[in-house]
Chains A and B, each alone.
Chain A
Amino acid sequence: MSKLIMSGNEAVARGCYEAGVHFAAAYPGTPSTEILENIGGLYRDEIYSEWSPNEKVAAEAALGASIGGMRAICTFKHVGMNVAADPIFTAGYCGVNGGLVYVTADDPACHSSQNEQDNRLYAPHAKLAMIEPSDSQECKDFLKKAYEISEAFDTPVLFRMTTRVCHSKSVVKLGERQEVPVRKYEKHPEKYSMLPVNARKRHIIREELLGKLEEYSYTSDLNRVEEVNGTDTGVITSGISYQYVKDVFGDSVSVLKMGLTHPLSKKLLTEFASKYEKIIVVEEGEPYLENAVKTLGFTNVTGKDKLTIQGEFNTKVVRDSLLGEQDTFRYKAEGVEVPARPPVLCAGCPHRGFYYALSKQAEKFVSAGDIGCYALAVNPPLNGFDTCICMGAGFSALVGLSRALKAQGDTRKAIGELGDSTFFHSGLTSLIDIVASETNAVAVILDNSITAMTGHQENPGTVRNLMGYESPAIDIVALVKALGIDDDHLRIFDPIDQEAAKEALEAAYQAEGPFVIITKRPCALIKEVQKANAGKHVAIDPDKCVGCRQCMKVACPSLAFDGEKKKAYVADTANCNRCGLCIQQCKFGAIGKAGE
């Protein structure tokens, strides 16, 4: 079989293919996104796949496929599982017909997330089986095993990955697809209709199944003991932490590598821990394995007393924490101040236009942001918003925030912004609340025709779907109007157009009750948009530039200021796509069109 270097996410996608999976659904979220991207891109003939509007919908769609008899998968980033938690907890009671796997991609160190939650804790809470791979080969092999376990024990399986498992690449041996027939759908309301009378019974059955699964866990090859003679130390670990343990200790200690981490085999843990004077538990995040070992009565356990709960590990972190700092030599470039390189809104980004306009009327508004590229507008000089909590909160928070401002006599108006994909995700229900509660606030939908932050995924507003087929585009304007927003309380414009943006924000401030702004301009990085703008850029006439720095306030990576000459200049003509925002704001007419 051929060997390829694959990311964990690519390997999970491949695993779905080989395991005969029929159905895949997800909402994009770093570090999980590439799983569905690969399924949609490579295996659309074998696997139906979709970007669902949000993780709850995806989890329910996958559960429906499973009840119907298909092998199904649903993936999300760790915080996406919070959105999907409602159906998943009940899915634990229902069990499955076709195998069902939920993939959680956790993000220790918050590389691209708002928190560091450890979703292993969901497995005992929702009563799911849980499997943790440590590299790409295991991502593929363990996923296939997950479907066997799911069907054998009538349980959804939580497949828990972390950023470094998802995004690091290692060598994978490929296999063939196993064609698995769709199981016959049979009516079982006692199993799939969770009214109290059924749920009480299912809870009993679930506990019994978990007991059987724990017995299986003792013999499962997902768990592995690497025994070394003559050592007094046993290390218990799972996931990516196993790799760091091997780097630090090599073959000098015994290792219990747990792959099936819920239900944990108490027998296996006890047998292993009893053999050693010292037990070390190495795991990122919460003391999940450590607590399990301690609950069994072992006291000779080192874990979170030395290894951090916060952030992520690497070999050095594990070595220094457990053995004391080993090498302290570091090169330093004396006297070099390295300037920060924060991520910025791209040249030509439509969001810059809206937030630049808002910054000019900042004194009138208290602004709530949301999750997406536009979250980058929080940085100076745009200072676009005060809060960014989770998907949809940019709208829902206004219902409370506007009332709190009024209660303290603050005359500023609450305004919230979120993107088209976030609107479909959970902004729609939030906007319904704004309308139904007659909240005096401004809801802004920054429609750039794509799910941009996670790397350009399709959404219900796009004309194509994940599999590359044409799909009906949901009309955001029509949706908003259907909620009862009339033309006096609605503005639709290109956010680069500063006249239109100014008028809209003024009208929004003056209006009473719910007001909606929809900005429409596609992301500058969409291929067709890039093609259309190829070669276009602006030029700055140094004779007209007076060095007022006003253009620096738009914070565009294509523009720069020469401190010695006291003139603005175009730093990157290739990057600039002449959106025209800087041209509009230069009072001296120094910036003009150039290029093709």
Chain B
Amino acid sequence: MTKSIILVGVGGQGTITTSSILAKGLIEDGYDVKMSEIHGMSQRGGTVVTQIKYGEKVYSPIIGDGEADLIVSFEKVEAVRALPYLKEGGTIVTDTREIFPMPVLTGAAAYPSDAVEKLQKEVPNVVVIHAAQTAETLGNVKAQNIVLLGALVKQLGLMEIDWKKIIQETVPAKFAELNLKAFDAGCTM
């Protein structure tokens, strides 16, 4: 059975690093894995969507509407934007972090701060976490993505894979300790 996961956030939040670590772990565990991301304009503050599929044999690298088992959102309203991807009965893990897009910054549009509460009314499985806040407490908000990785692998029941080894291989050595703590924190969320 193929599992489909969407990671969504804003350019610069580290969604791609998270998905790379996830993919490495899944391959080491013997799964066939495909990942998809769009490069280009998304680097300039736009929405970034990374998709991962794994299973015995994976064909399409991309996930269509209504096909995602799990959406992990690094930013609050991006969870709502990604909602059409979610399959019936699927799960959303979302951070409470708010990053205002340009129309909100300039006052041309409002930011729906109650997005998560409204999401919870519609979707039975919404896990709300404070990954950015936790990462900040640990010393650097940039470790938010690894907190989310912890929460994500817990949701997927993939705790037996040696994620810490892969994190150490992936992140710069001076940030290894921070990220390992971030991962542990995420696993308890």
Contact = CB atoms under 8 A, between A and B. Distances in A.
A337 B112 contact: yes
A40 interface: no
In this complex, the interface size class of chain B, counting residues with CB under 8 Å from chain A, is: 35 or more
Interface string A342-359: 111110000000000000
B56 to A, nearest CB: 13
Contact of A338 (B64, B80, B102, B114): B80
B105 interface: yes
Contact of A339 (B35, B58, B104): B104
A171 B81 contact: no
Main DSSP-derived SS at the A contact region: loop
Main DSSP-derived SS at the B contact region: mixed
B131 interface: no
A373 B32 CA distance: 37
B67 A316 contact: yes
B139 interface: no
Contacts of A563: 107
B45 A338 contact: no
In this complex, the interface size class of chain A, counting residues with CB under 8 Å from chain B, is: 35 or more
B44 A340 contact: no
Contact of B106 (A5, A338, A455, A555): A555
A381 B106 contact: yes
A329 B67 CA distance: 10
A225 interface: no
A341 B47 contact: yes
A557 B105 CA distance: 7
Given A316-B67, A330-B84, A339 B40 contact: no
A31 B42 CA distance: 13
Given A331-B123, A342-B102, A168 B109 contact: no
Contacts of B121: 334
Interface stretch (A242-250, A397-405, A440-448, A470-478): A242-250
A412 interface: no
Given A30-B40, A331-B122, A341-B10, A243 B102 contact: no
Interface string B7-43: 0001100000000100110010000111111111111
Contacts of A242: 59
B52 to A, nearest CB: 9
Given A316-B65, A563-B107, A342 B118 contact: no
Nearest to B45: A344
A338 B112 CA distance: 7
Contacts of A34: 39
Contacts of B6: none
Interface string A433-467: 00000000000000000000111000000000000
A314 B45 contact: no
Contacts of B100: 560, 571
A315 B67 contact: yes
A167 B34 CA distance: 11
Given A336-B119, A339-B110, A344-B45, A329 B88 contact: yes
A340 B101 contact: yes
Contacts of A329: 66, 88
A559 B111 CA distance: 15
Interface string A538-568: 0000000000010010010101110100000
A5 B22 CA distance: 11
A345 B44 CA distance: 6
Contacts of B24: 5
B147 interface: no
Given A334-B122, A339-B110, A455 B33 contact: no
Contact of A316 (B20, B58, B64): B64
Interface in A480-537: none
A381 B77 CA distance: 23
A335 interface: yes
A58 interface: no
28 contacts: A30-B40, A111-B41, A167-B36, A168-B62, A240-B61, A243-B60, A243-B61, A244-B59, A246-B59, A314-B60, A314-B62, A315-B60, A330-B65, A331-B84, A336-B115, A336-B119, A337-B112, A338-B77, A338-B81, A339-B77, A339-B103, A340-B109, A341-B81, A342-B101, A346-B45, A376-B41, A560-B100, A571-B105
Interface of B: 10-11, 20, 23-24, 27, 32-47, 58-67, 77-78, 80-81, 83-84, 86, 88, 100-107, 109-112, 114-115, 118-119, 121-123
Minimum-distance CB pairs A-B, first 6: A316-B64, A112-B40, A168-B61, A343-B46, A343-B44, A341-B101
Given A330-B83, A331-B122, 5 more contacts: A30-B40, A247-B59, A315-B64, A338-B77, A571-B100
Interface of A: 3, 5, 30-31, 33-34, 111-112, 135, 163-164, 167-171, 240, 242-244, 246-247, 314-317, 327, 329-346, 373, 376, 381, 453-455, 549, 552, 555, 557, 559-561, 563, 571
